[in-house]
Amino acid sequence: MTISLIDGFSRPITYLRVSVTDKCNLRCVYCMPEGGLPWLRRDEILTYEEIAAIVRAAASVGVRAVRLTGGEPLVRRNLSRLAAAIAAVPGIEDLAISTNGLLLEEQLDELVAAGVRRINLSLDTLRAERFEAIARRPGLDAVLRGIDAAIAAGLAPVKLNCVVMRGHNDDELADFAALTRERPIYVRFIEVMPVQENVALQRDAYVASDEILRRLAVIGELRPVAGPSGNGPARYFAFDGAAGAVGVISPLSHDYCERCNRVRLTADGRLRLCLFGDHAIDLRAPLRAGAATERIAEILRSAMLIKPERHHLRLGETASRMRAFSEIGG
């Protein structure tokens, strides 16, 4: 199949991130208020059959990789059923999940059987008391068991996404990096980004990726490496002889817009053309009105005409449409 989903800046769009729910079982301080957010009604959320129909249309115009996200995707029931349907779509070559890991161990076998081949886990601290302070929920042991289970199941690569916050967890950079020396783990340090609920926190806690790399270089020489397979924006570095690597994702200090290859389907059926912008196309309405695969594919191609060249995030300014950090990182 040829790739016909190409935006106005000659970037082929081959990667679709699918949010299966807006709900999450954590309340991370950088992501949402402790009381949660106004959740979508059940009838507003796409069914698994509707998601699969959109994926079929996307695959017909060149999408090759799909990542299931949230919110927290594993809180939606029977997610393996959706994973199996997507894995069976002709043209889809890569199916991955981004998760906070709390429910991963108990669901991993059925997800792997359904066709999931890669896992990204969010983990911001290796200390139990600090985990509860950042996530406002307990659960570090469950996340660590999920990581072990993913490695034991042969999933590769296993990526850990760590949002770095000055005064909160930046003293653990060396501890996270040490994980990559002995285990096939790829730790990606993410600059904390401004969302509606955290502008003050982001302004005070922001640590640029260049500073992160300088601080890691103190504990050992890092060399640039190609990194693992995947579709994300990280730049990777490794210690000599390490089984894994560290990476940095830097939407503020070094944006990666020129390499953008993705769009995102929200839980309520909107195609988001830029993670940090307001450009979105409603796919739920035409789908529920009976639009066939060819019509949805046509809408996808037309949407490329308004995909912006880049985002315009600035330190201390709000990315008004981003609701969860699970939306970042490939």
| Residue 294 domain flag | yes
54-111 pLDDT tens trace: 999 999 999 999 999 999 999 999 999 999 999 999 999 999 999 999 999 999 999 9
Buried b (16+ CB within 10 A) or exposed e, 237-270: bbbeebebbbbbbbbbeebbbeebbbbbbbbbbb
| Residue 7 domain flag | no
- The DSSP output letter for 42 is G
Contact 262, 303 (CB under 8 A): no
| Residue 6 domain flag | no
Measured between alpha carbons, how far is 312 from 314 in angstroms, rounded to an integer? 6
| Residue 1 domain flag | no
Q: Please report the pLDDT score of residue 35 as a whole number.
A: 76
| Residue 59 domain flag | yes
| Residue 76 domain flag | yes
Measured between alpha carbons, how far is 192 from 213 in angstroms, rounded to an integer? 15
Q: What would the two tokens of residue 123 be?
A: 């983990």
- The CATH number linked to 213 is 3.20.20.70
Q: What would the two tokens of residue 116 be?
A: 């999931």
Domains identified in the chain, total number? 1
| Residue 156 domain flag | yes
Candidates 137, 176, 153; CA nearest to 105 is 153
- DSSP helix/strand/coil, 12: strand
| Residue 5 domain flag | no
Q: Please report the pLDDT score of residue 275 as a whole number.
A: 74
Q: Please report the pLDDT score of residue 320 as a whole number.
A: 45
Q: Please report the pLDDT score of residue 200 as a whole number.
A: 61
Q: Please report the pLDDT score of residue 137 as a whole number.
A: 95
Q: Please report the pLDDT score of residue 56 as a whole number.
A: 98
Domain housing 302: 15-327
245-275 pLDDT tens trace: 999 987 665 556 767 788 999 999 999 988 7
Measured between alpha carbons, how far is 95 from 229 in angstroms, rounded to an integer? 12
- DSSP helix/strand/coil, 48: helix
Q: Please report the pLDDT score of residue 4 as a whole number.
A: 84
Measured between alpha carbons, how far is 269 from 51 in angstroms, rounded to an integer? 8
Strands (DSSP E) contained in the chain are 15-19, 65-69, 94-99, 118-122, 158-164, 185-191, 222-225, 235-239, 245-249, 262-265, 270-272, 280-282
Residues (pLDDT < 70) of the chain are 1-2, 194-202, 230-232, 251-256, 258, 276-278, 310-330
